[in-house]
Amino acid sequence: MAGLEDLYREIILDHYRTPRNRGELDAPAVSAEGHNPLCGDEIRIFVDVRDGIVTDVRFNGSGCSISQSSASMMTSAIKGKPVAQVKAIVKKFKSMMTVDEDESPVDESLNLGDLEALQGVVKFPVRIKCATLGWNTLLDALTAAGQ
């Protein structure tokens, strides 16, 4: 049986206790809302995309330590990056979570940094949806931004 130490790594709990980029962004930034219908977790991701670059990103909502810390780490990982690279990071993360749906290759050279700490979530399959909630919502927000 997988132990809780695989799930609740210190870096995860740190992002849960002290979330980065929590808040909202005003227009022209756009946002998207995500729900986990199984547990009621809610999240809203705000993105400001200028000249193909995610210049700012924020999130708010409420949820468990995994959904909140994953969203926090995600915002840190993508802020200031070109949209194409952001999408590659999303793809790599979803691949790590075993829920990458399309066939295109994952960019193995990308370094997920702190996000690697979430790898343990895979051992708790029910929680994968918690970890990916913010990421799927980010994709919706990018779509709303015309990306």
Partner 1 sequence: MSLDVAAIRKDFPVLHRLVNDKPLVYLDSANTSQKPQAVIDALSNFMSHGYAPINRSAYQLAAEATDLFEGTRSALAKFINAPKAHEVIFTKNATEALNLVILSWGRANLNAGDTVLLTHMEHHANIVPWHMLVAERGIQLRWIPLTHDGQLDLSNLDSLLQDVKVFSFTAMSNVLGTINPVQQLCAAAHKAGALAIVDACQSVPHQPTDVQAWGADFVAFSSHKMCGPSGVGVLWGRESLLEALPPFLGGGNMIADVRLDGFTTAELPAKFEAGTPAIAEVIALGAAVKYLDGLGMANIRRHEIELSTYVLNSLTERFGNDITIHGPTNPELRGATFSFAFRGIHPHDLSQVLDQANVCVRAGHHCAKPLMRILGANATARASFYLYNTQQEADMLADALDSASDIF
The binding site for partner 1 (CB under 8 A) comprises 1, 3-4, 7-8, 13, 38-42, 62-66, 124, 127, 130
Of 54 and 133, which CB lies nearer to partner 1 in the complex structure? 133
Q: Minimal distance in Å, beta carbon 64 to partner 1?
A: 4
CA atoms in the 13 A half-sphere facing the CB of 74 = 34
Contact, 60 vs 43, CB < 8 A?
yes
Q: Minimal distance in Å, beta carbon 79 to partner 1?
A: 25
How many angstroms separate the CA atoms of 141 and 65, rounded?
22
Report the 10 Å Cβ neighbour count for 33.
12
Contact, 12 vs 4, CB < 8 A?
no
Of 13 and 84, which CB lies nearer to partner 1 in the complex structure? 13
Of 18 and 143, which CB lies nearer to partner 1 in the complex structure? 18
Of 40 and 105, which CB lies nearer to partner 1 in the complex structure? 40
DSSP code for 135: H
Q: Minimal distance in Å, beta carbon 14 to partner 1?
A: 12
Strand runs (DSSP E) across 10-147, as ranges?
Answer: 30-36, 41-50, 53-62
